[in-house]
Amino acid sequence: MVVSKEIEEVIKYHERAGKYFDINGINTFALDKGSGEVVFCVHGVPTSSFLYRKVIDSLAEKGRRVVSVDLSGLGLTYRPEDFNYEFNNFADFLTAA
């Protein structure tokens, strides 16, 4: 798959805006910005935290802490072959986050 330089730069910028952490052995990416009452943005399938990048900035400017975690196998989060990709397991994954 060929990815244009422009798209690569957008992805790198998005990645620099977030952080990685471990959830049950899975290298997980999340955006976490602002302070105050927490707003937790959960993306659908097949999207990622990238969907919320502008919303996160706007809410953070309004005094909220905004968090969006890439679900396992989506966005910049690692995709283990042995992960159970059913929705109830995604809920457990987010609870662990």
Count CA atoms within 13 Å of residue 42 on its CB side: 9
Predicted pLDDT at 52: 96
d(CA 65, CA 1): 36
Predicted pLDDT at 92: 95
pLDDT at 95 over 90: yes
How would residue 1 be classed by pLDDT, with cut points 50, 70 and 90? low
- Give 32-74 pLDDT, tens digit per residue: 999 999 999 999 999 999 999 999 999 999 999 999 999 999 9
Mean pLDDT (whole number) for 18-22: 98
User: Can you list the alpha helix ranges (DSSP code H) found in the chain?
Assistant: 5-17, 53-61, 87-96
